[in-house]
Amino acid sequence: MKRKGRGEVIAFQGERGAFSEEAARQLLGANVAVLPCARFEDVFRSLKEKRASGAVVPIENTLAGSVHENYDHLQNFQLPIVAETSVRIVHNLIAPNSVRFSAIRRVFSHPVALNQCLNFFAENPQIERITFYDTAGSVKMMMEEALTDAASIASAVAADIYNARILRRSIEDDRQNFTRFFLLRRPEDADRYPAKSAADPAQWKTSLVFSLRNVPGSLFRALAAFALRDLSLTKIESRPFRGRPWEYLFYLDFLGRADSPSARNALGHLREMADDLRILGSYPKGA
């Protein structure tokens, strides 16, 4: 999967060294050029307006669930998914090169990261937790200010980018913390990466969104479109349609390509029942 695209610039949300950048490196190699953005909406807009050639966005986390905001942007911006990858959220204790563990009295990070390392803080009561905007941003600040009694909690990529040192690896309480990311392209570039002809169709996934009115059995009838064609689902999630009581939005992933004969039949069948059916992309199944 690793290769460096030509003239690639990948937009993501957060500071340099965020977990989204780790996902971008997994997908496109460690040297990929990146464009950090303040908001998810800016990430989508950067790709649409050609300030970036691709975008990497988180779509779900094993502890925190689906990122509904990015599902909304996927529908509004219509930028196709071309790849997926999963990143294990590893929190590392990172300090300037000259700072030893025994000197550390303060640790900076995003409160979600600090709260995922409670065992570490219970074992080290001499260390104070201080909240910061962003995990990677806390490493940047610590290095810029040349703090001598402080460390940060962030990804290994953040340590690399800001030339800091990892003092303790993987201090998170729960190792079952993964985030799934999508790589997006503009529609005209959707075929560029990866080569569509290369992969076995059974190793592909398709993501779609549709809405149904909530009458008994409506989802059952909708899923018949897939069951009757032996298409295997890997995700289904309902979400109340705000502003339309009794309608639900569904996120669905199935194994296969949207342009295969059975998928085309299934999607035609689903369209008879579902409103606002939108295919978000077909892409090779991640590891």
Catalytic residues: 179, 181
Given 64, 103, 146, 202, the residue binding its own copies (CB under 8 A)? 64
Pairwise CA distance, residues 62 & 88, whole Å: 10
233 binds its own copies (CB under 8 A): yes
Which amino acid is located at 75 in the chain? Q
110 binds its own copies (CB under 8 A): yes
CA 130-170-90 angle, to 5 degrees, is: 85
Residue 192 CB, shortest distance to its own copies, in Å, is 29
| E strand residue ranges, the chain | 9-13, 33-37, 54-61, 65-66, 81-88, 92-95, 106-109, 128-131, 150-154, 165-168, 178-184, 204-213, 233-240, 247-255, 275-284
* Binding range to its own copies, per CB under 8 A, among 151-159, 198-206, 224-232, 267-275: 224-232
Give phi and psi for 159, each to the nearest 5: -60, -45
Cis peptide before 201 (omega within 30 of 0): no
| 17 C-beta neighbours (distance < 10 Å), count | 28
Residues 121-140 within binding reach of its own copies (CB under 8 A): 129, 131-134
What the block records as the tokens of 286 is: 């991640």
63 binds its own copies (CB under 8 A): yes
Residue 193 CB, shortest distance to its own copies, in Å, is 25
Given 9, 33, 35, 67, the residue binding its own copies (CB under 8 A)? 67
Side-chain-side CA neighbours of residue 85 (13 Å): 21
217 binds its own copies (CB under 8 A): yes
Number of residues that bind its own copies (CB under 8 A): 48
Q: Would you give the end-to-end CA distance of the chain in angstroms?
A: 10
At CB < 8 A and 24+ separation, what contacts does 237-241 make?
Answer: 237/66, 239/68, 239/71, 241/211
Residue 67 CB, shortest distance to its own copies, in Å, is 7
Given 7, 65, 125, 245, the residue binding its own copies (CB under 8 A)? 65
Per-residue x/- mask for its own copies, residues 153 to 192, rule CB under 8 A? Answer: -----------------------x----------------
210 binds its own copies (CB under 8 A): no
245 binds its own copies (CB under 8 A): no
Given 49, 123, 188, 230, the residue binding its own copies (CB under 8 A)? 230
Of the pair 61, 78, the CB lying nearest its own copies is at 61
On the 0-12 / 13-18 / 19+ scale of CB atoms within 10 A, 104 is: buried
68 binds its own copies (CB under 8 A): yes
What the block records as the tokens of 128 is: 């104070």
What the block records as the tokens of 129 is: 């937790």
Of the pair 216, 261, the CB lying nearest its own copies is at 216
Which residues in this chain contact its own copies in the complex, by CB under 8 A?
A: 38-39, 60-69, 110-111, 114-115, 118, 129, 131-134, 176, 214-217, 219-221, 223-224, 226-227, 230-240, 242-243, 248
